[in-house]
Amino acid sequence: MDVRVGTVEEIRSEGCRVVDVNGRPVGVISVGDEFFAVSDRCPHMGASMCTGSLSGTLVPSGPHELVYGMDDRVIRCPWHGWEFDLASGRSLLEPKRVGLKTYRVTQHDGEVVLHT
């Protein structure tokens, strides 16, 4: 099913827009020229991920070395700070056990379209 989310300009200016997909909230998030979509319900206690923040995190760059990376690719829950990879939806802390459902998003004639 395809869901029209809004115009590219609208979603870019809002940063995140929540749409209803079969009774479930999905957050469509603008980052630069790209769009991502994740479940808008945090798996911990259900906070809206759209009201959270985007940032990066420390990633390995060599043996015993970390550098800041994944800028604006990490979404942080506003309630207790759980962090998720925006592209994969996986938790940074427990990627095998915890995650947000992700969806494909495309642009067509200036519109943002969510594919479910």
Cα distances from 3 to residues 69, 70, 111, 113, in angstroms, run: 32, 28, 10, 6
Distances (CA, A) of 76 to 21, 61, 81, 92, 102: 22, 22, 5, 10, 15
What minimum distance in Å lies between the beta carbon of 50 and ligand FES?
12
Contact footprint for ligand FES (CB under 6 A): 42, 44-45, 47, 77, 79-80, 82
State the nearest-atom distance from the C-beta of 97 to ligand FES, in Å: 14
CB of 28 to ligand FES, least distance (A): 19
Beta partners for residue 103, in sequence order: 37
Q: Give the residue with the Cβ less far from ligand FES, 45 or 67.
A: 45
Torsion over CA: 79, 40, 90, 37 (sign) = negative
Which one, 24 or 104, has the nearer CB to ligand FES? Answer: 24
**Among residues 8 and 98, whose Cβ is nearest to ligand FES?**
98
